[in-house]
Structure 1
Amino acid sequence: MDGMKPAMESTAEENPDEREESKGCLDCCIKCLGGVPYASLVATILCFSGVALFCGCGHVALTGTVTMLENHFSRITSDHATLIDVVQILQYIIYGIASFFFLYGIILLAEGFYTTSAVKEMHSEFKTTVCGRCISAMFVFLTYILGLAWLGIFGFSAVPVFLFYNMWTTCAAMKSPIANLTSVDNICVDVRQYGVIPWNADPGKACGQTLADICNTSEFYLSYHLYIVACAGAGATVIALIHYLMILSANWAYLKGACQQTHAYQDIKTKDDAELQDVQSRSKEGLNSYS
């Protein structure tokens, strides 16, 4: 029994150390989780999702649109050659947008980590620099410009949705009882009036049963719904950029306030040190005069 006592005592001595170690890990995890900029993280996820939907769906929808025009509205390649060039340029722009916002979202998330740490530690040894505040102000300005640009992209992405919706409703109108009062062949959709293809394109329009068959094709159905999703993705990106703008503005204001508080504290400390030195020098002079 006596031989078991030292083992029990060593176990009892190890348990507090293990508890302190586990408690230290828990505190460290809580501290790390507390330093995560959740608002920036949500904005980044929303931005990535919106840009991915816009770029992916927009790219496929543009390809389907060209295929549908070549098969049903413009059989001569020279008539829609300009359209093909424009579509290729837009697809390259989509590649650039996807790459740029992937990097920009990561940069803004990193900036969110930086400003969150700066705000939470502004009363300790951490000091915000002028360069850091200038970078935050630059991101505010750049995000504002990008938000305006994405508002334009959102409006532009609504145009094909409107055109496809008109075509969709025209096909649905042919199936209504009102269409039976007139000839179905008189119901047409002319894409030349939208400026998509030139006026001399052949045939340029689709009527009656031909139009109904076009509306039932996979190119039309898929492109129409992909344009809707792409437009929704552009709207989500606009919301994400507005969210980013609010976060960056708040962080910049906090950094500016922290800097002002630090400067005020340093001024007060400098004055106190000067007064203390003055009092000490006067006391030394008084002692010397008495001696």
Structure 2
Amino acid sequence: MNLKNKTQVSMFEFSGLSDDKELTPFLFMLFLFVYIVSICGNSGMMTIVYISPSLHTPMYYFLSYLSMVDLFYSSVIAPKMLSDLLSDRKLITFLGCALQFYFFSAMIGTELLVLSIMAYDRYVAICRPLHYILIMTKKKCLSLVLLTLSMGFLHSVAQTVSLFSLEYCKSNFIDHFYCDIPPLVRLSCSETRTCTIVTLFFVCLFTISSTMTILVSYTLIISSILRINSVAGRRKAFSTCSSHLTCATIFYGTIYLNYLTPSSSSHKKQEKVFSVLYAVVTPMLNPLIYSLRNQEVKRAIMQVQKGHNEHI
């Protein structure tokens, strides 16, 4: 498909995060800090899982994969956003915009599916503990990871083609800080019905199916936990789920608020806020939540630190 024949626009210009010049230095320092913490946190989480034998289980295998996805998808948006905060004109080429959206959409779709298979893993561990090792084999875990990755990139191909096949022949000004569906659809001067249908189909397919997987899994998990006689047993069972449930709630909540809220002039500012939350802030929060709330991760970190100190 020759995209150049479909459009008269070769460059797009972002509005950026804020028009307030005095606020820009603060925003730059804030989000630079958030991005650095995100890189260190997710890289650290993958390293801890890799070097700690106690974390060589399906639950932490999926967690390290989640950290990898967070690391990549925050890096698709944050560096360009940070450089634009220091620039007078926030420009991106048509191809650059398409590539940014493609990889971001792929990582978002993958993360949705990863969070749902993590819920399934917790369901098997708590509701079918005797069969856990037989069900969650290394081969099955790898297959689930490859399935989520392939589905994430395949859905992104469809969304990218439908979005960038639209004609952008008038304004090239994107009222946002990265290439996303709502601002680009508003900018198009051609019929957007097909693109809207494709978007709704994939948003509903990924968000609703993964949300239902999580809801059904946790309904069964809570039912199983309530049947445990000891308070300590119930607390331990729920503690293994609380970190994942917190991460999933934050991520899904911001996505639903952003994509399923009716479009309006006032919504454009909210759109930026929600986008910052799930595109930049959430990748930082996930490893922090697991580090602070998960006892096994805490113990693994302390053991690594102890071993490092002894080595010194």
TM-score between both structures, scaled by the size of structure 2 = 0.34
Q: Which has the higher contact order (CA 8 A, sep 6+)?
A: 1
TM-score between both structures, scaled by the size of structure 1 = 0.36
Bigger-Rg structure (1/2): 1
